[in-house]
Amino acid sequence: MRGRTVAAVACLVIGVGLAAWSLANGQLLLAIVGLALLFAFLFLAVEAMNKASKPTHEIPRASNAAWNMKDEPVHGSSDASGSDGDREAKP
């Protein structure tokens, strides 16, 4: 395991134990330290998830990007709204 993983697990285990023990015995200062360790664990976990969500390789650019095709007509039978476009409505 990497160092950040060990630190996150240590923050979780020590933080939960310290917060629970100190809250049960009425020691507010140690409870705050335990809760701070829990927030450190949450920070490390979110940071790891953000790092894992990034791709490991570069995403190639499309040869025909959609922005370049904005002036081309739509290929299909009708548009999504179901209207007839320029046609007049029949009574």
What is the residue extent of each domain of the chain? Answer: 3-52
- Reported confidence tier of residue 23, pLDDT bands at 50, 70, 90: very high
What does the alpha-carbon distance between residue 41 and residue 48 come to, in Å, rounded to a whole number?
11
Contact 37, 30 (CB under 8 A): no
The residue-averaged pLDDT of 54-60 equals 84
- Distance in angstroms (rounded) separating the CA atoms of residues 15 and 32: 10
pLDDT higher than 90, residue 88: no
Average pLDDT on 53-79 reads 73
Q: What is the pTM of this model?
A: 0.60
76 in the Ramachandran plot: left (φ > 0), alpha (ψ -120 to 50) or beta? left
Closest of 50, 31, 42 to residue 8, by C-alpha: 42
